[in-house]
Each structure stands twice: as C-alpha cells, then as structure tokens.
Amino acid sequence: MSEIFNYIDGLKEGSDERFDSFKVESISSIKAIEDKAYLEKPVWLGGDQKFVCLFIDLDDSSKLSFNKRPETMAKIYDYFTQNIVDILSHPIFGADYIDIKGDGAFGIFEGEKASFKALYCAITFKTMFEKYIKDKFDIGEDHLSCKFGIHKDTILVKKIGKRGDRNYNEVWAGRLVNNAAKLASESKNINNLLNPTLPILISKEVYKDFYNNRQYGFYNCCDGKGNPVPPGTEMFIKSDNYSDEVLGDEFYYTFVGWCAKHADNYISLI
C-alpha cells in the first residue's frame, strides 16, 4: 500500500480511538477553558452551568467588501473589531472570555450578573457605534451597520490543534455562541421605521433575568438621546411570529442607548 494510504489509515485508527473515548467534563467557570481545555484528548468542557454570550457582528460586510479596496476593509475591520474587544474588556462590566469570530467578536459572561454585564457591553458599543463609528468611513452610498445578539445557555467547547503548536483555536459545539449569532441575524426582521437606531436582541432566557431583577434596567431611563421615557415603559419589546427549535417562540429587543444623565447609575449597580 502507498505511503499516503498508510497515513490515512493511521489517521482513521486514531480518530476511532478518540471517538470511542469521547467525554464531556463539567466546568463551573468559563476561565477554566484556558487551563483545562484539552488539545489531542477527546474531552470537551461543558456541563449544566449556564453562561451568557454577547455576539456583535458587522452587518453585510461581504457585500460591502465587493466594492471596497482590501486596505479600506482592513481599516474598517480594525476600527470596528478592536473597539468591540476593548469594550468587552471593560474593568467593571467586561466579559470573562473574549474571542474574534469573522468580522465581529463575542464575549462570554459568568456569574449572577452575567446578563446585565452583557447588555451593558452591548449598549456601550451601540452608543459608540452610532456616535463615532457609523460615519467614520466614507463608503459612498453604503453605510456601516452592526448586529447584536445575547443568549444564555450551557457551553460545549474544546481546543483543536497540536500541543506545542500555537496554531489552535477553541471550537464551540454547544448552542451558546451559535444562538447568540442567530439572534443577531434577526435584526433585519425588526421594523425599525419609528426608531433609526440599532436594536439589541436578547433571548427569552436573558429576558427572564431582567424581569426578575428590574433594578438593572428592565425599565429604560431615556431613549438613548436624552428624551425621557414615562415610568413603567418596558425596555424590551417582545417579538412576534417567531419560532425556533432551540430559542423557542419569542425573543426580545431594545433600541436603548446610554445617556450622559443616567448611564453611571446603572453601571454602579454592577
């Protein structure tokens, strides 16, 4: 048999051994990924612990790139993504784990305040995007836009690569990151005629945390432009005519942005 077929057969034998030895190891902290995520071993990290993921993505970047020079797109990606990472690294409400995904990034939050920190990160980037980033680049008739999705779920993650080789990545097989991204993609289906700002979408699981802890911002202080909202006005709007096998029959969204008068009041609660 040829050398290449011997090589393929050897790969198959090793793969079958990993397949038969597959297991999931429970973790209670997302920070355990850096210390416990295995490379060659068929051991994934997961369990019953739920975490919160904020996914932020540049909207229609592939369409935008067709008409722009690579250097222009690189400048946009750099300016856009680096600011996401910087905000996800905020010392008070920052994420416990940060990763780059395509032309966006996501952060994973843990603990009893995870949902609130994730929303505060989303509002912070949304406010910066609408104030500074959206019109930063002269791109003709096109305009920059972005998407937000926040979901709460269990995780399933593993490092894929070779030990001693820096060329490896965490692979997320669970529903947490995928469904946060799926929620973000629903932004286009929200009627935004009455409010030109960007929506932030959250799943039912995240909504429950705000419903049960209203002091963290279930009611909006203003509309993001300094205009007061009457007391009792709900911050989140329930979606209509939605159905997803995992996310269920509803999600919620908000157009809220920070205002100079009230932002620090919410952040101080964290």
Contact partners, residue 116, CB within 8 Å, separation at least 6: 93, 209, 210, 213, 216, 217, 269, 270
Least reliable range by pLDDT among 28-37, 103-112, 124-133: 28-37
Q: Cβ(127)–Cβ(103) under 8 Å?
A: no
Given a cut of 60, whether residue 224 has pLDDT beyond it is no
Q: What is the mean pLDDT of residues 234-261?
A: 81
Residue 11 lies in a domain: no
Using a cut of 0.95, tell me whether the model's pTM lies above it: no
Residue 95 lies in a domain: yes
pLDDT category at 223 given cuts 50, 70, 90 is low
Q: What is the pLDDT of residue 40?
A: 67
Q: Domain span at residue 101?
A: 50-154+167-267
Q: What is the pLDDT of residue 123?
A: 92
pLDDT category at 35 given cuts 50, 70, 90 is low
Given a cut of 60, whether residue 66 has pLDDT beyond it is no
Longest dimension (CA), the chain: 78
Residue 133 lies in a domain: yes
How far is residue 16 from each of residues 19, 20, 22, 42, measured CA to CA in Å? 5, 6, 10, 11
- For residue 130, give the CATH number of its domain: 3.30.70.1230
Distance CA 42, CA 209 (A): 34
Residue 225 lies in a domain: yes
Given a cut of 90, whether residue 90 has pLDDT beyond it is yes
Distance CA 25, CA 15 (A): 19
pLDDT category at 8 given cuts 50, 70, 90 is confident
pLDDT category at 221 given cuts 50, 70, 90 is low
- How does pLDDT run across 98-128, given as a tens digit for each residue? 998 877 899 999 999 999 999 999 999 998 8
Given a cut of 60, whether residue 61 has pLDDT beyond it is no
Given a cut of 80, whether residue 70 has pLDDT beyond it is no
Q: What is the pLDDT of residue 249?
A: 84
Residue 89 lies in a domain: yes
Given a cut of 60, whether residue 231 has pLDDT beyond it is no
Residue 72 lies in a domain: yes
Q: What is the pLDDT of residue 28?
A: 84
Count of the separate structural domains present in the chain: 1
**Token pair listed for 123:** 């509002």
> What's the whole-number average pLDDT of the chain?
82
- How does pLDDT run across 150-202, given as a tens digit for each residue? 999 999 888 777 666 566 678 888 889 999 999 998 888 886 655 668 899 99
Q: What is the mean pLDDT of residues 2-14?
A: 88
Residue 259 lies in a domain: yes
Least reliable range by pLDDT among 75-79, 91-95, 157-161, 188-192: 188-192
Residue 204 lies in a domain: yes
